[in-house]
Chain A
């Protein structure tokens, strides 16, 4: 069974440029999460979806971050414009119950 798939694996952009990350969750998992992980820290939730509904986006910086999961499967996380402080690993995870399974992440570097 395929795990959570994320792309790209790495992205380097200049500040003020837009960037987008894509996630394909495990088949049948109705819950999808986007986390941000800074160096030396644990993952921190940005947004959680139940099917196509964003049920917890309280930690998403809405002035520059947006996310969508239109058909309740794949999801895209966008940053526009990116700032230097956005450099981090962006992790997507999915679950059917309490156990969340993570993708490999996208390492974003903003220069």
Chain B
């Protein structure tokens, strides 16, 4: 089945630093989604990407849909303590075989 490799597994950074995480896959996806999950909560959608090469921003977050359609990255600029959480990438394969596949997540810790 489809597998997503998400890295890094965890990050420990200082407040104000920029963060970058990425996902790679052996399969092509039609859509990439990035979610954030805080303890005791469900994943919250941050950014959706629909076209290869697309670069989309949401505040301090920027994500890109890789040209090969097999990868995506998420950048967070000027991190703040409330950025703490687990960030998941998810790839959507469409058509009659629609499937939403998640990476294993990147745990982000921000030191004030």
Q: Which residues of A contact B (CB under 8 A)?
A: 4, 6, 33, 40-45, 48, 55-56, 91, 93, 98-105, 107
B104 touches A99 (CB 8 A): no
Contact assessment for A42 and B100 in the assembled complex, using a CB-CB cutoff below 8 Å = no
Contacts of B31 in A (CB 8 A): 98
- Of B92, B98, B100, which is in contact with the most chain A CB atoms at under 10 Å from its CB? B100
Q: Report B48 CB to chain A, min CB distance, Å.
A: 5
B5, chain A: closest CB distance, angstroms: 11
Given contacts A4-B42, A98-B92, A102-B44, contact A44 B102 (CB under 8 A): yes
Cross-chain contact B42 with A98 (CB below 8 angstroms): no
What residue of chain B has the Cβ atom nearest to residue A9's Cβ? B40
Chain B residues contacting A98 (CB-CB under 8 Å) are 30-31, 33, 48, 50, 92, 94
The complex places the Cα of A73 from the Cα of B35 at a distance, in Å, of 24
Task: Answer whether residue B66 sits at the interface, using C-beta atoms and an 8 A cutoff.
Answer: no
* Count of B interface residues, CB-CB < 8 Å: 25
**Cβ of B8 to closest chain A Cβ, rounded Å:** 14
Q: How far is the CA of A41 from the CA of B104 in the complex (A)?
A: 5
Closest to A107 in B: B40
Residue of A93, A99, A103, A104 ringed by the most chain B CB atoms within 10 A = A99
Shortest B47–chain A CB gap in Å is 10
List which B63-112 residues lie within 8 A (CB) of chain A.
88, 90, 92, 94, 98-100, 102-105
Q: Considering only CB atoms, which chain A residue lies closest to B31 in the complex?
A: A98
Q: Mind listing 13 A-B residue pairs with CB under 8 Å?
A: A33-B100, A42-B90, A42-B103, A42-B104, A55-B98, A91-B42, A99-B33, A99-B48, A100-B45, A100-B90, A102-B43, A103-B42, A105-B41
Report whether B43 and A43 are in contact in the complex, using a CB–CB cutoff of 8 Å: yes
- Supply 17 further A-B pairs (C-beta < 8 A) apart from A98-B30, A98-B33: A41-B104, A42-B6, A43-B43, A43-B102, A45-B100, A56-B99, A91-B43, A93-B42, A98-B92, A98-B94, A99-B45, A101-B45, A102-B35, A104-B40, A104-B41, A104-B42, A107-B40
